[in-house]
Amino acid sequence: MADCLFCKIISGEIPSKKLYEDDKILAFYDISPIAPVHFLVIPKEHIQSVDAIDEKNSEIVAYIFQKIGQLAKEAGIENGYRVISNCGADAGQSVLHLHFHVIGGKELSWQA
Ligand code: AMP
Ligand code: ZN
């Protein structure tokens, strides 16, 4: 997608601090972390949000979750973490390319 920030990060047009990359996904550190460790995991295929996951593209979601535990360890998270995907306006989704926030490195509070 020409006008998508995360597609530009995937192509290298916009730099990022990479944690992991393969042919299907990219993990990179969030530019404004909300916890001591905060990285994002995204599919290389442009999918707009959780709302756009369907039977044709859902395999990548399982693949991402299969990788998250090891990536959290590699990022130095030792005592648990939270995975978040903001979907749509009320959730505050600001980049319309599916992404999973992984946050940890401290005891997290829980509020909405
Ligand atoms: P969301 O608000 O859930 O759509 O999350 C988008 C996230 O992308 C936010 O946490 C931003 O801090 C992060 N972000 C925006 N631009 C960049 C960038 N160039 N590199 C890394 N993270 C970014
Ligand atoms: Zn995109």
pLDDT tens digits for range 3-14: 999 999 999 999
Mean pLDDT of 87-105: 98
pLDDT at residue 63 in the model: 98
**Alpha carbons 18 and 59: distance in angstroms, whole number:** 23
Three-state DSSP class for 111?
coil
**Alpha carbons 6 and 67: distance in angstroms, whole number:** 19
Residues annotated as catalytic (active site), given as ranges: 99
Kindly give the distance from the C-alpha atom of residue 17 to the centroid of ligand 2, in angstroms, as a whole number: 17
Residue 86 Cα: closest atom of ligand 1:
3
Residue 9 Cα: closest atom of ligand 1:
19
Mean pLDDT of 10-19: 98
Calculate the average pLDDT of the chain: 97
- What phi and psi values does residue 15 have, to the nearest 5 degrees? -70, 155
pLDDT at residue 54 in the model: 98
Is residue 56 scored above 90 in pLDDT? yes
pLDDT at residue 112 in the model: 79
Is residue 1 scored above 90 in pLDDT? no
Q: Is 16 a pocket residue for ligand 1 (Cβ < 6 Å)?
A: yes
Mean pLDDT of 50-77: 98
Q: Are 106 and 76 in contact (CB under 8 A)?
A: no
**Alpha carbons 37 and 33: distance in angstroms, whole number:** 7
Kindly give the distance from the C-alpha atom of residue 4 to the centroid of ligand 2, in angstroms, as a whole number: 5
Residue 28 Cα: closest atom of ligand 1:
21
Is residue 2 scored above 90 in pLDDT? no
pLDDT at residue 108 in the model: 97
pLDDT at residue 76 in the model: 98
- Which residue's alpha carbon is at the smallest distance from atom 16 of ligand 1? 31
